[in-house]
Amino acid sequence: MGELLRLESVSRRFGGLQALADVSLSIGTGEVLGLIGPNGAGKTTLVNVITGVHRASAGRVLFEGRDITRLRPYRTARVGLARTFQVVQPFPELSVLDNVRAAALFSAGGSMREAQRVAEEKLAFAGLSDMMALPAANLTLAMRKRLELAKALAMHPKLLFLDEVNAGLNSAEVEQAMALIRQIAGSGVTIVLIEHLMKVVLSVSSRVVVLHNGALIADGAPAEIVADPQVVEAYLGKRYAQRAVEAAQSGTTR
Amino acid sequence: MTGHVKRAPSAALLVALVALAALPWFGESYTLRLGTIACMYAILAVSWNVIGGMAGYPSFATAAFFGLGAYTGGVLLARGVPLVLAIATAGAVSFAAAMLLGWVLLRLRGHYFAIASLAVAEVLRELTNSATELTGGGMGLNIPLELGGGASVAYEASFFFLAMWALLLVCVLAVLAVERSRLGFGLACIRQNESAADMIGVHATLYKSLAFALSGVFVAMAGTLYAGWVHYIEPPDVYDILLAVKPIVMVLLGGLGSIIGAVIGAFVFLGIEEFVWRNWLQVHSGVLGFLIVVLLLFMPHGMVSVGKRLRRTPSVPAAGAAAQLRADSVRGAGHG
Amino acid sequence: MFLQILVNGVVLGCLYACIAAGFSLVWGVLNVINLMHGSFIVLGSYLAWGAYHSMGVSPWVTIAIAAPLFYLMGYLVQRGVLNRVMAAPVLVTLTLTFGMDLILNNAMILAFKADYRKLILDPPLGTVAWGSVVVPVDRLVATVFALVLTGALYVLLRRTRMGRAIIAVRLDRDAARLMGVDVPVTYAAAFGLGAAMAGCAGVLLALIFPISPLSSIPYLGKAFVVCVLGGLGSVPGAVLGGLVLGLVESFGAMAIGPEHAVTLSFALLIGFLVFRPQGLLGKRGFE
């Protein structure tokens, strides 16, 4: 398993706020990496720094061995990074088809005809074939999330960031989304999954990293992460963590 | 198959435009003068539509491009450079200037961009005023253009009408091509959500600058033609802020984002303007202002959208209008 | 020589601050650029001129009349017209106030003709001199009034219920609405205050500059530049921006000639827009 993305001591400040502190991370090709952490931990900022929305204040971002730290988003889109947004961002007046076609066209640089083909394929995958002609503004939230996914996939990503794709969905919709994510991973796309729903993270990810106050505090298999007292503390506070540790110890001694 | 633009009306527009070329064989000099101004106004409106309607940036730089073109071309014409060459130079200079300016100014949004684009005309006006040796400064610039041995007044009128008409035709064809191209598609994305456009690989800075430059190049060429036509230009005349505002009103009149709307809006606007000038000279600017207020308060989507609203069948729940309104509020919020 | 230019710059700067404070308030709170602001100022000047030359009312008294009169006018204009397009894109509000300005300016040209008039105090107030620095007294008094007016606006915004509502709306319209602020009324009040500041500034400027409908555009230009220099929507920002512009203009006029002073201020405008759009003070109100 080769290395796809590498962060070397990446930091980002906003004025006096240290949003990311010395984050080093390596992501291998084909991984499904769960990125978790409490609200305000810096998860979205990390994605923004990698994709070039914000520039790292210090450190380097390497993608396939190439330094992409200073690339603007339109360039990172073209080297193979795609993302979905926590708050969906369709082009409201464009049709569903044109939304995806734009993504295929501008990221890959092929012909309009090729973009059309890719768009239809990805819309079929996302189950939106029947909605192609509708303006994106008319879709329901669940459909817009799928449109967002189809757009990201049309960019032929090597690395795909899924930022809270399940937020606001009901449990049936979450099940559908999880199935889609598994299928995408199965097709060989490396995925970074930012997620609040532990159930989703634990069942889909092959590895989980935890961000807290802008720093990475844990990195390991899903089962190890949920047992890590530091992680429990970050999520639930010190006292609860202590109790959890004591409970775990008394469990083992008994 | 570019789904983001509709095809049918543009064929009708081109037929109507081609037919307009017959005007010199029917019209007298007054009609020809009006026809020339109509074509000029349409060039300004169609051009503004590229940056304002397609890219969604509220540019007030039309006056700057017009003045830059009038003076670049005018100075060359006054030195005996052939008309075609002068027009080409004015277009090239304006394109280059707009690309450079666009690269810097288009980082600004909303009011800030509007003001900056407005200030460009003021700076150019002052520069023109102070470069007295080249431009004649505040005294204005005489342009004794010879159209060849003893051309009659009538010949000159026909000549400039046809030249302006041809420029309009080229401008409309170019903008139609842009609308259907990758550039037009990218601009539609930028207008609706610039950061999302950036995320899917649209080089927003380049595309916006190209849109700004395209919105300037034909305006500058029209400026040169205007200079040759009227034989005399002065800074307050060709850098007039009204030249920046009128195209916006024309486009709003015709419906934002529509090329055919821009052309119709320009013609209708000229009709109204001429009518007001002839009947209420004293209050013509007040009437123009009144027209603007009424237009914005009661016809926010212009005449084209009024027509659409009438045609729309009640069974379709106004999806387009809803999307349009939402997009408007998104744009408003982006600046708000 | 240096001191004289410094004093001229400061005098000019205080007047500019007064011109721009109301404009900045409207822009910051309503997110509307009021292109009528210049014409409001000129209208204020005509009011002072008419009151003095036909009724003998001193300009200092006219200020007290102009403030409520212009407030009412601004309030009504906002409620009647602008309020219908408050949610519209920038382009619409800009073009709309431009259209209204055409009407107002045309009306002034019809009423007063386009030629320049001058308000001449009788007897004239003369000049004061400190060493080599000479300042006409009318200018000095106008400057002091400009500062007092701008300060009054500041206090009004900080200390009164209406002022606090205006600031709350500026910071977060939706939160203010949830806390019970009547947003449309607050918009109208802010626009009224902006108009009142313009009218009063006009009265003061009548003492110094010739009066003509043609002056509205230059006044508007100053307001733009000051706002961008100082940052939007704050009174201290307007004062700082005004002073900077006044000093730049008076020193610039000496350094590169008075004919280039306007170019200089517009170049400053573009430079600030590009490199520091949040102004010298404070944060960017909005993109």
Q: What is the pLDDT of residues A57-116, one digit of tens each?
A: 999 999 999 999 999 999 999 999 999 887 788 899 999 999 999 999 999 878 888 999
Cβ distance C86 to C30 under 8 Å? yes
Of B292, B300, B332, the CB nearest to C99: B292
Q: How confident is the model at residue B327 (pLDDT cuts 50, 70, 90)?
A: very low
Q: Which of B2, B200, B331 to mutate to test the interface with A (most CBs of A within 10 A)?
A: B200
Distances (CA, A) of C220 to B6, B137, C33, C39: 41, 24, 10, 8
For the beta sheet containing A215-220, the strands, ordered from the edge strand earlier in sequence to the opposite edge, are: A81-84, A159-163, A190-194, A32-36, A207-212, A215-220
Cβ distance A4 to A65 under 8 Å? no
Q: Which has the closest alpha carbon to C115: C204, C36, C215? A: C215
Q: Would an 8 Å CB–CB cutoff place B293 in contact with chain C?
A: yes
Predicted local confidence at residue B99, as pLDDT: 96
Q: Which has the closest alpha carbon to A162: A253, A33, A38? A: A33
Measured between alpha carbons, how far is A207 from B272 in angstroms, rounded to an integer?
Answer: 70
Least Cα separation, residue B253 to chain A (angstroms): 21
Q: Do chains A and C touch (3 or more CB pairs under 8 A)?
A: no
Predicted local confidence at residue A151, as pLDDT: 93
Of A77, A92, A105, the CB nearest to B185: A105
Cβ distance B65 to B220 under 8 Å? yes
Give the 3-state secondary structure of residue B151. coil
Of A77, A135, A137, the CB nearest to B199: A77
Query: How many residue pairs bridge chain B and chain C with CB atoms within 8 Å of each other?
Result: 134
| Model pTM score | 0.86
Strand partners, C128: C135
Q: Would an 8 Å CB–CB cutoff place B290 in contact with chain C?
A: yes
Give the 3-state secondary structure of residue A220. strand
Least Cα separation, residue B278 to chain C (angstroms): 17
Which two tokens mark C112?
């007063």
| Residue B331 pLDDT exceeds 90 | no
Q: What is the pLDDT of residues C191-216, one digit of tens each?
A: 999 999 999 999 999 999 999 998 89
Q: Would an 8 Å CB–CB cutoff place B58 in contact with chain C?
A: yes
Least Cα separation, residue B169 to chain A (angstroms): 26
CATH class of the domain at B8-335:
mainly alpha
The stretch B251-276 carries a mean pLDDT of 89
Predicted local confidence at residue C173, as pLDDT: 85
Q: Which has the closest alpha carbon to A76: A53, A95, A56, A98? A: A53
Predicted local confidence at residue B334, as pLDDT: 32
Cβ distance B208 to B190 under 8 Å? yes
Chains that touch C (3 or more CB pairs under 8 A): B
Q: Which residue reads 């470069």 in tokens?
A: B131
Of B111, B115, B289, the CB nearest to C106: B289
CA nearest to B198 within chain A: A74
- Contact: B130, C263; criterion CB under 8 Å: yes
- Restricting to C residues 54-83, those with a Cβ less than 8 Å away from any Cβ of B are 81
| Contacts with A246 (C-beta within 8 Å, 6 or more apart), sequence order | none
- Restricting to B residues 87-106, those with a Cβ less than 8 Å away from any Cβ of C are 104-105
- Contact: A105, B182; criterion CB under 8 Å: yes
The stretch B184-194 carries a mean pLDDT of 94
Q: Would an 8 Å CB–CB cutoff place B297 in contact with chain C?
A: yes
Q: How confident is the model at residue C97 (pLDDT cuts 50, 70, 90)?
A: very high
Of C27, C94, C96, the CB nearest to B293: C96
Cβ distance B111 to C94 under 8 Å? yes
Amino acid in position B281:
L
Q: What is the pLDDT of residues C34-80, one digit of tens each?
A: 999 999 999 999 999 999 988 989 988 999 999 999 999 999 999 99
- Restricting to C residues 245-284, those with a Cβ less than 8 Å away from any Cβ of B are 259-260, 262-263, 266-267, 269-270, 273-274, 277
Q: Would an 8 Å CB–CB cutoff place B314 in contact with chain A?
A: no
The stretch C217-234 carries a mean pLDDT of 87
Measured between alpha carbons, how far is B66 from B142 in angstroms, rounded to an integer?
Answer: 17
- Contact: C33, B285; criterion CB under 8 Å: no
For residue B152, the 8-state DSSP code is: -
Of B105, B115, B290, the CB nearest to C103: B290
- Contact: A106, B192; criterion CB under 8 Å: no
Predicted local confidence at residue A250, as pLDDT: 66
Q: What is the pLDDT of residues A125-138, one digit of tens each?
A: 998 999 999 999 99
For residue A4, the 8-state DSSP code is: E
Quote the mean pLDDT of chain A. Answer: 87
Q: Would an 8 Å CB–CB cutoff place B21 in contact with chain C?
A: no
Q: Which has the closest alpha carbon to C223: C1, C35, C83, C8? A: C35
Domains of chain C by residue range? 2-113+136-275
User: Residue C28: its chain B contacts at CB < 8 A?
Assistant: none
- Contact: C270, B332; criterion CB under 8 Å: no
| Contacts with A8 (C-beta within 8 Å, 6 or more apart), sequence order | A24, A59, A60, A61, A62
Q: Which of A86, A106, A153 to mutate to test the interface with B (most CBs of B within 10 A)?
A: A106
Predicted local confidence at residue B223, as pLDDT: 97
DSSP string, A97-164: HHHHHHHHHHHH---HHHHHHHHHHHHHHTT-GGGTTSBGGGS-HHHHHHHHHHHHHHT--SEEEEES
Q: How confident is the model at residue A243 (pLDDT cuts 50, 70, 90)?
A: low
Q: What is the pLDDT of residues A143-187, one digit of tens each?
A: 898 899 999 999 999 999 998 888 778 888 888 888 888 999 999
Measured between alpha carbons, how far is A62 from C123 in angstroms, rounded to an integer?
Answer: 79
- Report the phi/psi class of residue A54: left, alpha or beta, with left for phi > 0 and alpha for psi in -120 to 50: beta
Angle at C216 between CA C210 and CA C220, to 5 degrees: 125
Across chain B, how many H-helices and E-strands are there? 17, 2
Quote the mean pLDDT of chain C. Answer: 88
Predicted local confidence at residue B161, as pLDDT: 94
Cβ distance A222 to A208 under 8 Å? yes
Least Cα separation, residue B108 to chain C (angstroms): 7
Cβ distance C220 to C42 under 8 Å? no
- Restricting to B residues 165-194, those with a Cβ less than 8 Å away from any Cβ of A are 182, 185-186, 188-189, 192-193
Give the 3-state secondary structure of residue B289. helix
| Contacts with A88 (C-beta within 8 Å, 6 or more apart), sequence order | A141, A144, A145, A147, A148
Predicted local confidence at residue B281, as pLDDT: 82
| Helix C2-30, helix C183-206: angle, nearest 10 | 160
- Contact: B296, C286; criterion CB under 8 Å: no
Q: Would an 8 Å CB–CB cutoff place B327 in contact with chain C?
A: no
Q: How far apart are the first and last CA of chain C?
A: 42
Least Cα separation, residue C61 to chain B (angstroms): 32
Measured between alpha carbons, how far is C240 from C248 in angstroms, rounded to an integer?
Answer: 12
Q: What is the pLDDT of residues B62-104, one digit of tens each?
A: 999 999 999 999 999 999 999 999 999 999 999 999 999 999 8
Predicted local confidence at residue A51, as pLDDT: 93
Predicted local confidence at residue B316, as pLDDT: 31
The total of other beta-carbon atoms located within 10 Å of residue A253's CB is: 6
| Residue B4 pLDDT exceeds 80 | no
CA dihedral B153, B158, B164, B165 (to 10 degrees): 170
DSSP string, A188-205: T-EEEEE-S-HHHHHHH-
Q: Which has the closest alpha carbon to C169: C154, C157, C156? A: C157
Identify the weakest region by mean pLDDT among A217-226, B145-154, C248-257. B145-154
- Contact: B58, C270; criterion CB under 8 Å: no
Predicted local confidence at residue B175, as pLDDT: 95
Q: What is the pLDDT of residues B97-129, one digit of tens each?
A: 999 999 989 988 888 899 889 889 988 998 898
| Residue B182 pLDDT exceeds 50 | yes
The stretch A200-228 carries a mean pLDDT of 88
The stretch C262-280 carries a mean pLDDT of 78
User: Residue A98: its chain B contacts at CB < 8 A?
Assistant: 3-4, 185
Q: Would an 8 Å CB–CB cutoff place B334 in contact with chain A?
A: no
| Residue C286 pLDDT exceeds 80 | no
| Residue C278 pLDDT exceeds 50 | yes
Half-sphere exposure of B277 (CA within 13 A, CB side): 7
Q: What is the pLDDT of residues C139-172, one digit of tens each?
A: 899 999 999 999 999 999 989 988 899 888 888 8
The secondary structure of chain C, three-state, reads CHHHHHHHHHHHHHHHHHHHHHHHHHHHHHCCCCCCHHHHHHHHHHHHHHHHHHHCCCHHHHHHHHHHHHHHHHHHHHHHCHHHHCCCCHHHHHHHHHHHHHHHHHHHHHHHCCCCECCCCCCCCCEEEECCEEEEHHHHHHHHHHHHHHHHHHHHHHHCHHHHHHHHHHHCHHHHHHCCCCHHHHHHHHHHHHHHHHHHHHHHHHCCCCECHHHHHHHHHHHHHHHHHHCCCCHHHHHHHHHHHHHHHHHHHHHHCHHHHHHHHHHHHHHHHHHCCCCCCCCCCCC
Measured between alpha carbons, how far is C27 from C223 in angstroms, rounded to an integer?
Answer: 11
Half-sphere exposure of A206 (CA within 13 A, CB side): 13
